[in-house]
Amino acid sequence: MPQSCELGPSSRYRVYQLVPLLEQMGFACEVSPGIGKELYEQLYLRGGGSKLTMLRAVWQQRRQDLRRVNDFDAVFIQKGFFPGLHAGIEVAMAKRKPVIFDFDDAIWLPRQGGASLARALHRETEVQRILRIATAVIAGNEFLAEYARRFNPNVTVVPSAVDTSRYPRAAGSTTVGWIGSRTTLPYLAPLRPAFEALRVKPRVIASGDPGVLGFPVEFRQWSLETETAELAQLGIGIAPLPDNAWECGKCGVKILQYMACSLPVVASPVGANAEIVRDGVTGFLARDATEWIEKLRQLTNDAGLRETMGRAGRELVEQRYSVQAAAEQVATVLRQVL
């Protein structure tokens, strides 16, 4: 049961792309998203709609799912139905069928960039309830797994993965670019001095209003159909993150996307970023404005280095972060549960 339709990045990478592979391994899967495509587009891509409407839609869908839970051998819950607000439906399902709980964000914390009411009502104990009642827990990185092990002994780390066959190799430009969402646009703001020092106008592939950044960017409206083609036009991928607990829970998918396109990466050494990027091999880790300027300048001026790092990054994704490897890890957990 993914949190949303395929447009939601967590659901896309943690559920939808794995289902065909799991079915090839003999698992019969039925997917029931909490947020449908039309509502997701309205809320997260166009920036309209009501969070109350979303909560009502998820509640109705999950009540229907609860009535059908006995039709299945186990329930795979991705990120929770109302993480941090209410765990009652997950608890009710766990009383009737084994539950595998998967998460790729620090959902025990109030969601950064989320609605103020949801932040005010957030209760960490509700997340802990889900972790306790799950038969098995799958975490997107070690930081998340460490928290989950406080409440459940059966925790497996399955990093987020990408299907490299979907990503064309980049053409070798010098364009500095970033892919993200409406809520993560502010992560770019601290890089303004670096962009200005290098006279770089970054390309931003996202939803939302880039005007909130306060400096010029080349904006490209994100869509599922065009994202890989847009990424392939970049020359350097960037992944800045503040060093906070919420960001430590992130799983570095944008870095994997860059690397799948054979792009070198410059990233903040926060959370999974520091695990994925091999400093000096697949890209650089930049700790402050001085290092961001230095590393971006080095890559911009050296086509051979961009090529070498991009090739190393692509090889790393194929070896360690492939969708096939992720599906096999999830299949192992499912077999243990069933």
Domain boundaries, the chain: 9-161+322-337, 164-320
Q: Which residues have CB under 8 Å from 323's CB, separation 6+?
A: 17, 18, 21, 161, 162, 163
3-class DSSP state of 80: coil
Q: Per-residue b/e over 102-127, b at no fewer than 16 CB within 10 Å?
A: bbbbbbbbbbbeeeeebeeebeeebb
The CATH superfamily of 164-320 is Glycogen Phosphorylase B; (3.40.50.2000)
Name the nearest CA neighbour of 2 among 43, 27, 25, 36: 36
Mean pLDDT by 10 residues, the chain (338 residues): 95 98 98 94 82 90 96 97 94 98 96 68 95 98 98 98 96 95 94 97 95 95 96 98 95 98 98 96 97 98 98 97 97 97
- Looking at residue 191, its pLDDT comes to 98
Contact 61, 1 (CB under 8 A): no
Q: What is the architecture of the domain spanning 9-161+322-337?
A: 3-Layer(aba) Sandwich (3.40)
- Looking at residue 301, its pLDDT comes to 97
Query: Would 9-161+322-337 and 164-320 be classified into the same CATH topology?
Result: yes
Q: How far apart are the first and last CA of the chain?
A: 17
- Looking at residue 51, its pLDDT comes to 78
- Looking at residue 48, its pLDDT comes to 73
- Looking at residue 116, its pLDDT comes to 72
- Looking at residue 120, its pLDDT comes to 79
- Looking at residue 117, its pLDDT comes to 65
